[in-house]
Amino acid sequence: MQDEQITRMYEQLGISKDVYRFGTQIEEKLRDRFEAIDRTAEYNQLKVIHAMQENRVSEGCFHYTSGYGYDDMGRETLEKVYASVFHTESALVRPQIACGTHALAIALGANLRPGDELLSPVGKPYDTLEEVIGIRPSSGSLAEYGVTYRQVDLLEDGTFDYENIEKAINEKTKLVTIQRSKGYQTRPSFSVAQIGELIAFVKKIRPDVICMVDNCYGEFVELQEPSDVGADMVVGSLIKNPGGGLAPIGGYIAGREDLIENCAYRLTSPGLGREVGASLGVMQSFYQGLFLAPTVVASALKGAILAANIYETCGFKVVPDGKESRHDIIQAVELGTPEGVIAFCQGIQAAAPVDSYVTPEPWAMPGYDSDVIMAAGAFVQGSSIELSADAPIKPPYAVYFQGGLTWPHAKLGILMSLEYLVRKGLVTL
């Protein structure tokens, strides 16, 4: 009876019986993996609750503050909670940090000085970082301030090129930046353990080098965070994993006290540092979002794994593949044709709670060398912890899929993407 009602509800939303049956058969084979994800979420949920209890989070932490924001108890306590969750000495968690790129730019700009060198031992960083660093010339980049940049690409098989990393570290090297998630590249994402090995290698050569991890999309995917394996700073966005879908803005930097102090001076002003910055009523969403984040990340991970297995079964190349262990929430699916990525994204959009009636189309976006299509029916603009997908309209015609605040929504989105591909005749079940 319950099954029948669920099938009927799917039909009302536009999912045919065949697509539902196909998806559900694949889902049934994923029980063990989903159970392991739930166990990770359980651990991380306890970790967050423990951090909140330890720092005596109270109702008073949610109060609105304005103006300079001196003695903002909610802000100060939240920063302690983040430091507890990441097991760091200190943290900066603020609505004044506009996004992940801004958080990373602060962490870099605050801790590098003219004449210093920045090293990425994991290949090209995330697109937006290219302008922060000055790989692509940009006004105000680190390059303009006399910070040089060096990069060591990954080996063919996606592992670290230790030999050339050792050669690249010199007396000028001040900071090493390690991106945990592949972002929108085809390289593998790194496990926390792998990041730990890389940091240990760097520290053996130069113990004083600052190791920073771009933690975007990686938070709460594993039991540990990079700060548990030697990272001096971890940096991320609150409109991704740790905001739990509720934070309407924000970023965080957690790490060593002296480094975070520098970040605070960079964010506000020398002399003022972390003492100013009113929280304008967003604190409750920051706390509650962090509280929900472990289970939200679990939903997104289940969605990514279901998508990988469904599209792999349909004969497409998926990265990571259906069986691989996960280190972030992003799933790439190579659909091979423009029609394929467009249908996929239109399906994701049609399953959204917001703007489901609009049809996404490819368009020219600043910073991209091809048209891009994006599906995002989100409560928070551009939020990619909410179910979303995007694809550049160029070979290999891969779509990048991520998020899902709840597992049923992630599942609906994937089934709807498949439904659209089936209707267009691009997939036969």
Ligand X SMILES: *Cc1c(COP(=O)(O)O)cnc(C)c1O
* Residue 359: φ, ψ to 5°: -110, 110
DSSP states of 360-393 as a string?
---EE-TT-SSEEEEEE--SSTT-SSSSEEEEES
Q: How many residues bind ligand X (CB under 6 A)?
A: 12
The region of 46-54, 69-77, 209-217, 285-293 touching ligand X under the rule CB under 6 A is 209-217
- For residue 194, which of 242, 160, 235, 228 has the smallest C-alpha distance? 160
Would the CA dihedral through 234, 257, 209, 119 be positive or negative? positive
Chain-centroid distance of CA 155 in Å reads 24
**Which residues 19-58 are close enough to bind ligand X by CB under 6 A?**
none
Q: Does 138 bind ligand X (CB under 6 A)?
A: no
Site string for ligand X, 235-274 (x = CB under 6 A): --x-------------------------------------
Q: Using DSSP, state whether 210 is helix, strand or coil.
A: strand
The correct pick among 79, 214, 386, 419 for binding ligand X (CB under 6 A) is 214
Q: Does 100 bind ligand X (CB under 6 A)?
A: yes
Q: Does 374 bind ligand X (CB under 6 A)?
A: no
Nearer to ligand X, 213 or 422 (CB): 213
Closest separation between CB of residue 368 and ligand X, Å?
14
Q: Does 101 bind ligand X (CB under 6 A)?
A: yes
Closest separation between CB of residue 330 and ligand X, Å?
8
Nearer to ligand X, 111 or 189 (CB): 189
Closest separation between CB of residue 423 and ligand X, Å?
31
The region of 71-79, 87-95, 96-104, 405-413 touching ligand X under the rule CB under 6 A is 96-104
Nearer to ligand X, 99 or 290 (CB): 99
Nearer to ligand X, 100 or 340 (CB): 100
Q: Does 164 bind ligand X (CB under 6 A)?
A: no
Nearer to ligand X, 100 or 403 (CB): 100
Nearer to ligand X, 22 or 126 (CB): 126
**Which residues 176-205 are close enough to bind ligand X by CB under 6 A?**
179, 181, 183
**Residue written as tokens 């994204």?**
345
Closest separation between CB of residue 403 and ligand X, Å?
12
The correct pick among 93, 99, 165, 399 for binding ligand X (CB under 6 A) is 99
Nearer to ligand X, 80 or 327 (CB): 327
Is 115 in contact with 225 (CB distance < 8 Å)? no
The region of 94-102, 333-341, 370-378, 419-427 touching ligand X under the rule CB under 6 A is 94-102
**∠ CA(321), CA(416), CA(316), 5° rounding?**
30
Q: Does 128 bind ligand X (CB under 6 A)?
A: yes
Closest separation between CB of residue 183 and ligand X, Å?
4
Nearer to ligand X, 128 or 138 (CB): 128
Q: How far apart are CA 196 and CA 234, in angstroms?
A: 13
Closest separation between CB of residue 215 and ligand X, Å?
8
Nearest-Å Rg of the Cα atoms of the chain is 22
Would the CA dihedral through 410, 412, 413, 417 be positive or negative? positive
Closest separation between CB of residue 117 and ligand X, Å?
21
Query: Residue type at 259?
Result: L
Is 90 in contact with 80 (CB distance < 8 Å)? no
In 302-329, which positions are buried (b, 16+ CB within 10 angstroms) versus exposed (e)?
bbbbbbbbbbbbbebebbbebeeebbbb
The region of 55-63, 99-107, 271-279, 349-357 touching ligand X under the rule CB under 6 A is 99-107
Burial class of residue 24 in the structure, from the number of CB atoms within 10 Å of its CB (0-12 exposed, 13-18 middle, 19+ buried)? middle
Closest separation between CB of residue 387 and ligand X, Å?
16
Report CA-CA distances (Å) from 21 to 6, 310, 312, 352.
12, 12, 16, 21
Token output for 204: 């053996």
* Residue 153: φ, ψ to 5°: -75, 160
Nearer to ligand X, 23 or 100 (CB): 100
**Residue written as tokens 């962090």?**
290
With residue 334 as reference, give the H or E element that holds it.
Answer: strand 331-334
* Contacting residues for 223 by C-beta, under 8 A, at least 6 apart: 40, 43, 44
The correct pick among 20, 126, 286, 407 for binding ligand X (CB under 6 A) is 126
The correct pick among 78, 216, 263, 343 for binding ligand X (CB under 6 A) is 216
Q: Calculate the dihedral angle through the C-alpha atoms of 181, 185, 188, 189, rounding to the nearest 10 degrees.
A: 0
Q: Using DSSP, state whether 24 is helix, strand or coil.
A: helix
Q: Using DSSP, state whether 234 is helix, strand or coil.
A: strand
Chain residues binding ligand X by CB under 6 A are 99-101, 126, 128, 179, 181, 183, 214, 216-217, 237
